Structure 1
Amino acid sequence: MNRIILWLLAIACSLATSTLWAHEIRPAYLQIEETAPATYDVLWKVPSRGDRVIDITPRFDASLELSDARETLLDGFVLYHYRLKGGGNSDGLPGTRLTIDRLPSTTIDVLVNIRLLEGGEYSFLLQPSENTVSIPREPDKLGVLTTYTGLGIEHILGGIDHLLFVLALIILTRGFGTIVKTVTAFTLAHSITLGLSTLGFIKVPGPPVEATIALSILFLALEILRGINGNPTLTGRKPWLVAFIFGLLHGFGFAGALAEIGLPQAEIPLALAAFNVGVEAGQLAFVAVVLLLIAALHQVREWSLAAQKIPPYAIGAISAFWVIERIWAF
């Protein structure tokens, strides 16, 4: 496998970072819980950046009455608490339409979870291209499955730090079989800690985890440079072992993202499994694209030693910046 091609891919991925940062990957969250027949507590959670709050609001059917909001600030979000009531002979939410006003003018998604008195639960993912949904009269587990699978795919493909880590692993790995083992080890490891953390068996503070994830990418960048200089490295000898160890750490990062998103309380195992499947699907798609580009560019000529060092320096510089930024945010 041509190492030069992998370095070219690393450069392209690094240059794309600024574009990916421009997309808000934290979704807004709308939680609706029925507390009495046709009466609901509504939690509306909107991402904020500094003093700027994204100007989107939920709009319900005219047969439903929404009370004034109570506002709370919390860790990069603004929380609004409402009371929603159905008037007269209204059956409540089932059979009505929900719209997120002004969502098409943004780049974020909205996760909607609805829980009814009799135990029924709905999950939807509204996007700028589709900001309205009809709430069915009968809940469907398929909604939870598709919603959280989509969120998993979106999270991994929008998480440039996780993708840079996977890319660095591929650069350090020799042979298709070894790549398969390495990616599988990473998948197994972060699936373990994602599940344990989400289900409450292990609690790890988010900021140190994010800083250490950045540090893991910096470590791989240094490993690439050592390999270029002809020095044997642990990652070069046993990439699957390094992938597994750091994969445990990345799983806590995925769990932190899922905690921000929120889970349907009646379908936690299904939503967790679907999110994990989405993460793996997105990760495998990324690996497939990288390998296809390698095949397409297989005839690229060899580069000088100095040119070969540009991509690991780029990855290292970005990850070092993240380390400092994330420690500063503690």
Structure 2
Amino acid sequence: MKYLFERCHAGLICLCLMLYWPVANAHQMSTAYLQLSQSPLHVSPFETSAEVSATTPRLYGELQLRWFDLELVIGLDANTDGELSWAEVDARSSEIKGFVKQHLAILSAGNNCDLLLENDIQTDMHFDEGYLVLYFSSNCGLSVEDSQVAALTVQYSAIFTQDADHKLLVNADLFQRKYSGVIDAQNQRYLIEPESNPLLSIISTYIYQGVLHIFKGTDHILFLCALLLTCVLQRVNHQWQAKPQVKRVLKDTAWIITAFTVAHSLTLTATAMDIIVPSSRWVEFGIALSVMLTALNNIWPVVLRLGWITFAFGLLHGMGFAGVLGELGIDKDQKLLSVIAFNLGVELGQLLILAALLPILLYVGKRHWYQKYGLQASSAIIALIALQWCITRF
């Protein structure tokens, strides 16, 4: 009975790890962009600047959506040749604008603002992906001189049915302040208040996104798991044995987590601030390789002092975090604040994972089955997942 109980524990750990089996592109995100201003963001080639400034609408906007996302919901590729032509886009322009009006709304004092979409459809590129660009204006009654204006609410519901991880990044230059927020499937509205502090909004938004990313970043989670699987064990006579003192476990774990935190904080900040510009393809491959090598090191130990190797691999993971932050978008005027807040969110999520995992490891680390079978089986599963990443990301 005891033998069966131990095997069930080992199987449960393996099953939990298998539930985290990821998609190949762990960091590829579906992101849309919305910019709002009280000044024109675009002058139509058929209008002069004087004509635009004389018009009555006082709210101007620019919406960017991935062509790939629009293909999912509308089906723009009429001849199904895998390539989108301008003729195919132009033929469905009315449908595209109807889709935007159906899923994007701006409210002032609870009333819907009438969005006047420009006829011109334009394109842009973000992270080597094509984007639809639509400009619009509205007569929401905003005035630069009038400080007694109602709050604006942005409501957005596109793409979420097809991609639950889709996000809309909102940047607004209104009420003589700059605002930045994120709309996702869980919270499909963003409130812009004249009297609110936009800095607090930026901090809370990016801390939340940092926490969210560490929980969705399966490669980062499995890297932490691979590191922590041996934190309750020590190598004696070529065998894994439980560490005799909890104090030592906590000390060694703190050293590993600190090394990882310092390393990825450095490269996250440096990459996000454009101090270094690494190749995203090789960063993603390097992250997958780091997970695989760390897991294999648990099975065939070569490096027993994990602090420095954790620091080295942490540098790669920081560049991966920065890639996500870049896709999410950063307010140019609050770039450093956004980076710091996002990094704090990552650390918070990391500590939550550690708090959940460490008590379990302290319990199973004293069991013979874990020392002899559980560690190796769990590490082998992680290594196989990481190998699949390496192949697809190379």
Query: For residues 132 and 302 of structure 1, do their structure 2 counterparts lie closer, same or farther at Cα, with a shift above 3 Å needed?
Result: same
Q: What is the DSSP-based 3-state SS (H/G/I as helix, E as strand, rest coil) of the residue aligned with 1:302? A: helix
Q: 1:22 to 1:191 in 2, by over 3 A?
A: closer
2:65 matched to which residue of 1?
A: 45
Pair 1:67 & 2:118 matched: yes
1:7-36 deviations in Å (ceiling 9; x for gaps): 768624431124788999725232314244
**2:300 partner SS:** helix
**1-structure distance, mates of 2:283, 2:172:** 32
Could you say which residue in structure 1 is the equivalent of 2:14? Answer: 11
- Residue in 2 that maps onto 1:172: 230
Partner SS, residue 352 of structure 2: helix
8 Å contact from structure 1 (residues 5, 298) kept in 2: no
**Distance between the aligned counterparts of 1:200 and 1:73, measured in 2?**
18
Task: Assess, with a 3 A threshold, how the Cα gap between structure 1 residues 53 and 47 changes in structure 2: closer, same or farther.
Answer: farther
Matched AA of 1:66: L
Query: Alignment RMSD, CA only?
Result: 3.4
Which residue of 2 is the match for residue 198 of structure 1? 272
Per the alignment, do residues 49 and 114 of structure 1 end up closer, same or farther by CA in structure 2, a change over 3 Å counting?
closer
Q: Which residue of the partner structure matches residue 178 of structure 2?
A: 121
Taking every aligned residue pair, what percent have the same amino acid on both sides?
24
Question: Contact between 1:109 and 1:128, CA under 8 Å: does it hold in 2?
Answer: yes
**Structure 2: distance between partners of 1:297 and 1:66:** 61
- Structure 2 residue aligned with 1:230: none
Equivalences, count:
317
Counterpart AA for 2:326: A
Alignment of 1:129-278 (within 5 A): 129-138=186-195, 140=197, 141-174=199-232, 175-227=249-301, 233-234=302-303, 236=304, 238-278=305-345
Find 2:390's aligned residue among 308, 317, 323: 323
SS in 2 for 1:318: helix
Cα 1:144–1:11 change in 2 (3 A) is: same
Q: Name stretches of at least 5 consecutive residues in structure 1 with no aligned partner.
A: 228-232
Distance of 1:176 and 1:275 partners within structure 2: 26
- The aligned counterpart of 2:79 is none
Higher-Rg member (1/2): 2
State whether residues 127 and 327 of structure 2, in contact with CA within 8 Å, keep that contact through their aligned partners in structure 1. Answer: no
Judge conservation of contact 1:103–1:127 (CA < 8 Å) in 2.
Answer: no
SS at match of 1:107: coil
- 1:10–1:315 CA contact under 8 A, matched in 2: no
Query: 3-state DSSP class of the match of 1:17?
Result: coil
Q: 1:222/1:89 Cα in 2 relative to 1: closer, same or farther (>3 Å)?
A: closer
CA contact (8 A) 1:121 1:139 kept: no
Query: Which stretch of the first structure deviates more once superposed, 309-318 or 14-23?
Result: 14-23
The 3-state SS of whatever aligns with 1:65 is strand
**Candidates 314, 336, 358, aligned match of 1:291:** 358
Give the Å deviation of 1:177: 0.5
CA–CA separation in structure 2 for the residues paired with 1:203 and 1:292? 39
Deviation at 1:308, TM superposition (A): 4.7
Query: Contact between 2:27 and 2:320, CA under 8 Å: does it hold in 1?
Result: no
Kept in 2, the 8 Å contact 1:122–1:139? The answer is no
Amino acid paired to 2:262: L
Deviation at 1:185, TM superposition (A): 0.7
In structure 1, the residue corresponding to 2:338 is in which secondary structure?
helix
What is the TM-score of this pair, normalised by structure 1? 0.82
Aligned partners of 2:206 and 2:387: how far apart in 1? 32
Once structures 1 and 2 are overlaid, which stretch shifts more, 92-101 or 299-308?
Answer: 299-308
Moved more, 140-149 or 69-78: 69-78
